[in-house]
Amino acid sequence: MTTTFFVFAILCLSIVSCTKKETAEQTTASGLVPSKFETVTEEGKTTHLYTMKNAQGMEVAVTNIGGRIVSIWVPDKSGNFQDVVLGFDNVEQYVPFNTNFGAIIGRYGNRIADAKITLTNRANYELRKNDGKNTLHGGARGFHTRYFDIEQPDSLTLICTYLSKNMEEGFPGNLYVTVTYSLTEDNALDIKYEATTDLLTVVNLTNHSYFNLSGDPDRTILDHLLYLDADNYTPTNEELIPTGKIEKTAKTPMDFTKATAIGDRIDDVSFEAIKFGNGYDHNFVLNNPGDINHVAAKLTSPASGISMEVYTTEPGIQFYTGNFLDGSNIGKKGIAYNFRTALCLETQHFPDSPHRKEFPSTELYPDSIYQSQTIYKFSIQ
């Protein structure tokens, strides 16, 4: 009798202990379990989940694979906190590398036509094709698939570093990359990019977070209001490769110089750019390139009241409305990510710049430093 009671008591204590352990692991405000982000990569490196949190309660979580932003936790108009980016609640779902959720994108964000480049020194390079005959976001094994070493010098800073080796995905030069995430006390996520090379190469880094400011990824983003400080955009062909032209947004579905609901004109396939993109998937030419103090874009969810301003030193911004989301990815909290349930605002140099001398150059020389900065600042509208 005593022995039976003793065994029963031990079992109860074990259950309580396990429950307490699981509860203790719920250390992120958005409900992520850090142990689910720990694994050993094929290179023998261990992945983790890192968090930054400010005094206002805003929290940003990042993991090593792709230096990905896993969650951004911000307050809404009712004082409740919402996770406003898409992603997964475990590292295993990031490892298949078939998504870009939250990732650092490189070596070249967006598309390069025919998967080849010719540099000003007349060197020719064949890149890895992963978008038909073109290269998209640095190739199939771009930065979104790579392990970033992450250091956390303080509670508001994460420093992500990666060495992209010479000829990785066909790009020349050993590229030393540092991406620094900083969380400010006024609820802004400041992203600074820096890179150096030992050979002439091309670089175009960005972040591929998918935003839904309602905090509910079951909702589409069609009611979100968007402002873009862009009087022009770069039209594309059917493969979404720029034609080289720069055209006016005025009096077209591309005009967001006044805050407009995204769904108002997204299905106007009588406009060629909308038809080719199956919605919005376009590079907008910013009116104030290089000015980090000027609002390049502003996004607002009427449902939550959460607003996000975008500041950048880049000359362009890719506005993408989740047109390829199809419910096949099951994200955080078991929610399927369906058509147009998130959007991206990817600050960037223009797509296919290596083939377009009229576009701002993306070449980086060995004696130069690539530097770029983008800020996503959150508030309540």
Q: How confident is the model at residue 198 (pLDDT cuts 50, 70, 90)?
A: very high
Q: How confident is the model at residue 26 (pLDDT cuts 50, 70, 90)?
A: low
In contact, 274 and 267? CB cutoff 8 Å = yes
208 is an active site residue: yes
> What does the H/E/C string look like for 322-340?
CCCCCCCCECHHHCECCCC
Distance CA 367, CA 369 (A): 7
Fold entry, domain 34-380: Beta-galactosidase; Chain A, domain 5 (2.70.98)
Query: Which is more confident, 5 or 360?
Result: 360
Distance CA 63, CA 52 (A): 12
Residues 6+ apart with CB under 8 A from 38: 46, 47, 48, 49, 91
Distance CA 280, CA 297 (A): 15
For residue range 126-150, list pLDDT tens digits in order. Answer: 999 999 999 999 999 999 999 999 9
Please give the C-alpha separations between residue 205 and each of 109, 300, 303, 357, in angstroms, as whole numbers: 6, 25, 32, 19
Return the domain boundaries, the chain: 34-380
Task: List 158's β-bridge partners, or say none.
Answer: 181
Q: Is residue 7 within a helix (H) or strand (E), and if so which, with residue range?
A: helix 2-25
Q: Is 101's pLDDT higher than 90?
A: yes
Q: Which two tokens stand for residue 5?
A: 């009671």
Average pLDDT, the chain: 93
Q: How confident is the model at residue 8 (pLDDT cuts 50, 70, 90)?
A: very low
For residue range 309-328, list pLDDT tens digits in order. Answer: 999 999 999 999 999 999 99
In contact, 181 and 158? CB cutoff 8 Å = yes
Calculate ∠ Cα 88-150-171, nearest 5°. Answer: 85
- Mean pLDDT, residues 207-222 taken together: 98
Q: Is 366's pLDDT higher than 50?
A: yes
Please give the C-alpha separations between residue 218 and each of 87, 200, 212, 320, 359, in angstroms, as whole numbers: 13, 45, 10, 18, 38
The phi, psi pair for 169, rounded to 5°, reads: 55, 20
For residue 42, what pLDDT is reported?
86
For residue range 67-93, list pLDDT tens digits in order. Answer: 999 999 999 999 999 999 999 999 999
Q: Find the catalytic residue in 59, 168, 314, 346.
A: 346
Instruction: Tell me the whole-structure pTM to 2 decimals.
Output: 0.93
HSE, side-chain direction, 13 A CA sphere, residue 283: 27
In contact, 135 and 171? CB cutoff 8 Å = no
Q: Find the catalytic residue in 208, 224, 282, 349.
A: 208
For residue 24, what pLDDT is reported?
52
Length of the chain, please?
Answer: 381
